[in-house]
Chains A and B, each alone.
Chain A
Amino acid sequence: EVHLVESGGGLVKPGGSLRLSCAASGISVGAAYINWVRQAPGKGLEWVGRIEDKADGGTSNYATPVKGRFTISRDDASNTVYLTLSSLTTDDTAMYYCSAGYWSSDWGPGTQVTVSS
């Protein structure tokens, strides 16, 4: 059974940075597509980015609003995928979820990021 847990969220000032973690069990993050999706309060789902599995090249792709500011990476030893957020604005305030699989079949419970002065 696949199990994902996000962590690292919190309160950060505009312009600040944060690193979110997505710890996985039941799958190898190097052999899986891992997505990051966010949801601002009272709003819909917004795709943030994805890292492909190594067999398909292992590349990362990002949504336009976060390109150049957010970076997805992975650590095979700890079986964890990271989302590094920088140059944060209040528009980045949201619940951040990671999901696993090409079809996003498994999700974590999310971690809250609040950007406020």
Chain B
Amino acid sequence: DIQLTQSPSFLSASIGDRVTLTCRASQAISNYLLWFQQKPGKAPKLLIFGATTLQSGVPSRFGGSASGTEFTLTITSLQPEDFATYYCQQIKTYPLTFGGGTKVDIK
């Protein structure tokens, strides 16, 4: 199975900060990488597909990048509604797998 390792597991940040979340795959997955945001008690929300493409309706402060097996989600200016847990998922190979998540909390 392809393992996805997200770092950090927990991130404390302030409004307006630029934050970068990382997801490393245990093997090559090309650009078959999704990013989701989840708030407590809610279903996940798709932010990024194809590693770098912003889902319709998602604010442009969110961005995705890829380099080999390392993927990043960047939020350029953290807003109050961005405090949540973020997950990456690979859809290259079955079984599909999620990373362990990064919780972004208020400093």
Asked whether B87 lies within 8 Å of A110 as measured between CB atoms, the reply is no
- Cα distance A35–B87 in the bound complex, in angstroms: 16
Nearest residue (CB) in B for A110 is B43
Asked whether A105 lies within 8 Å of B46 as measured between CB atoms, the reply is yes
Measured between beta carbons, the chain B residues less than 8 angstroms from A105 are: 46, 49, 55
Assuming the contacts A102-B91, A104-B34, asked whether A47 and B98 have C-beta atoms less than 8 A apart, the reply is: yes
Q: Does B106 contact A (CB under 8 A)?
A: no
Q: Does A82 contact B (CB under 8 A)?
A: no
Asked whether B46 lies within 8 Å of A104 as measured between CB atoms, the reply is yes
Q: How many residues belonging to B are interface residues under a CB distance threshold of 8 Å?
A: 24
Contact of B95 among A45, A47, A102, A108 (CB under 8 A): A47
Asked whether B95 lies within 8 Å of A64 as measured between CB atoms, the reply is yes
Measured between beta carbons, the chain B residues less than 8 angstroms from A109 are: 42-43
Measured between beta carbons, the chain B residues less than 8 angstroms from A104 are: 34, 36, 44, 46, 89
Question: In chain B between 9 and 42, which residues have their CB closer than 8 angstroms to a CB of chain A?
Answer: 34, 36, 38, 42
Asked whether A64 lies within 8 Å of B1 as measured between CB atoms, the reply is yes
Q: Does B97 contact A (CB under 8 A)?
A: yes
Measured between beta carbons, the chain A residues less than 8 angstroms from B98 are: 37, 44-47
B interface residue numbers (CB < 8 A to A): 1, 34, 36, 38, 42-46, 49-50, 55, 85, 87, 89, 91, 94-101
Pick 21 A–B contacts, CB within 8 A, sort by A.
Answer: A44-B85, A44-B87, A44-B101, A45-B38, A45-B87, A46-B98, A47-B95, A47-B96, A47-B98, A50-B96, A61-B94, A63-B96, A64-B95, A99-B43, A103-B49, A103-B55, A103-B91, A104-B36, A105-B46, A105-B49, A109-B43
